[in-house]
Structure 1
Amino acid sequence: MDIILRARNCEVSSKVKDEARRKVEHATRIFDRIIDLEICFSEEVNPRIPNPAGVEITARSKGHTVRAVGGGDDHHEALDQAIARLERQLRRWKTRLVDRGRRAKGDEPKANGHLPDLRATRAGDDADDDPMPSIVRRKSFELTPMFPEEAVLQLELLGHDFYLFTNAGTGEPNVVYRRESGDVGLIEGVTSASAMAAAGGGA
């Protein structure tokens, strides 16, 4: 496993770097599918900001990425927090894979390719008089083909509010997102041609 260390707006001592390598190597023993891992140290210069020291750990394997972030008064504290979160994420990931293997063997009911209770809430009808926001940042990445259940796992591993992917069953772009209730929603995108074909087939 390759371990990359980076520092942003700060200097990190060799002692802290060695500690970081040792702790991530110990943490990743929980799950042996990690290919490479990056540790990024950062520090805020504004004294009013609580927990100015930050550590972000990004672990990658084939098809999935795990991200854990920690903060504290110094990098030792931030590292411990990030490591604890990384271990929880890796244990959750391993449990999901074990459960999936059991379902594939027939020990548990197989998933039917759909997520339960994915009805999205209706957006409010009130008009917004605020100025239209502008795009201030662009980010692009390759959409990975996977089934919705795998996308939900990736959503949890990254700790994001939504995750964009290509549905391996339909080939169309989909989004899974976290609802206020704590459940997960699924948005299934369709191309114009697909929508027209579906409409024609139902006529």
Structure 2
Amino acid sequence: MNLLLTGHHLDITPALRAYVENKLDRVVRHFDQIIDIAVILGVEKPSEKDKRQRAEVNLRLKGTVLHVDHFAEDVYTAIDGLIDKLDRQVLKHKGKVQDHQNEALKHVSSGL
């Protein structure tokens, strides 16, 4: 798994990098067929005064790409919300993959 962490109008500190890596361990623990992860952390325009911090991720899996973004007042809060959304999407994708594999086995056994 490759991790690309980018800051948009934001410096990526070692503490911030470690925080993102620790949070992504939860997602990797649920689904291990991840090819690469691209995380973008940034600050939005001042027009959105209450939610200026942005966190988004592109998670590339075999056959699909999951894109999630989250806005919050604090960058750590944005990362937490992002990981929660990403974890739900990964579990949903994992369920679809497993159901599809089980469905194929049912058709094979009933055809005999």
What TM-score, normalized by structure 1, do the two folds share? 0.50
Note the residue ranges of structure 1 that are not aligned, 5 or more in a row: 108-203
| Partner residue, 1:91 | 91
The answer to which structure, 1 or 2, has the higher relative contact order (CA under 8 A, 6+ apart) is: 2
- DSSP 3-state at the match of 2:46: coil
Give the Cα–Cα distance (whole angstroms) in 2 for the partners of residues 104 and 48 of structure 1: 48
| Partner residue, 1:6 | 6
Once superposed, what is the RMSD of the aligned Cα atoms? 1.4
Larger radius of gyration: 1
| Partner residue, 2:62 | 62
How far 1:50 moved relative to its partner? 2.7
| Partner residue, 1:79 | 79
How far 1:27 moved relative to its partner? 1.6
| Partner residue, 1:148 | none
- DSSP 3-state at the match of 2:34: coil
| Partner residue, 2:17 | 17
Output one character per residue of 1:142-190: Cα deviation in whole Å (capped at 9) or x when no partner. xxxxxxxxxxxxxxxxxxxxxxxxxxxxxxxxxxxxxxxxxxxxxxxxx
- DSSP 3-state at the match of 1:71: strand
Give the Cα–Cα distance (whole angstroms) in 2 for the partners of residues 90 and 48 of structure 1: 29
Give the Cα–Cα distance (whole angstroms) in 2 for the partners of residues 72 and 28 of structure 1: 24
| Partner residue, 1:50 | 50
Question: CA distance change for structure 1 residues 62 and 50 in 2, over 3 Å: closer, same or farther?
Answer: same
8 Å CA contact 1:68–1:82 kept in 2: the answer is yes
Output one character per residue of 1:92-122: Cα deviation in whole Å (capped at 9) or x when no partner. 0011011101110116xxxxxxxxxxxxxxx
Give the Cα–Cα distance (whole angstroms) in 2 for the partners of residues 75 and 26 of structure 1: 18
How far 1:22 moved relative to its partner? 1.3
For residues 40-189 of structure 1, the aligned pairs below 5 Å read: 40-46=40-46, 48-106=48-106
8 Å CA contact 2:6–2:12 kept in 1: the answer is no
How far 1:48 moved relative to its partner? 4.2
Runs of 4+ in 1 over 4 A off after TM superposition: none
Note the residue ranges of structure 2 that are not aligned, 5 or more in a row: 108-112
How far 1:45 moved relative to its partner? 3.9
- DSSP 3-state at the match of 2:106: coil
Give the Cα–Cα distance (whole angstroms) in 2 for the partners of residues 16 and 54 of structure 1: 14
Give the counterpart letter for 2:15 in structure 1. K
Give the Cα–Cα distance (whole angstroms) in 2 for the partners of residues 16 and 81 of structure 1: 15
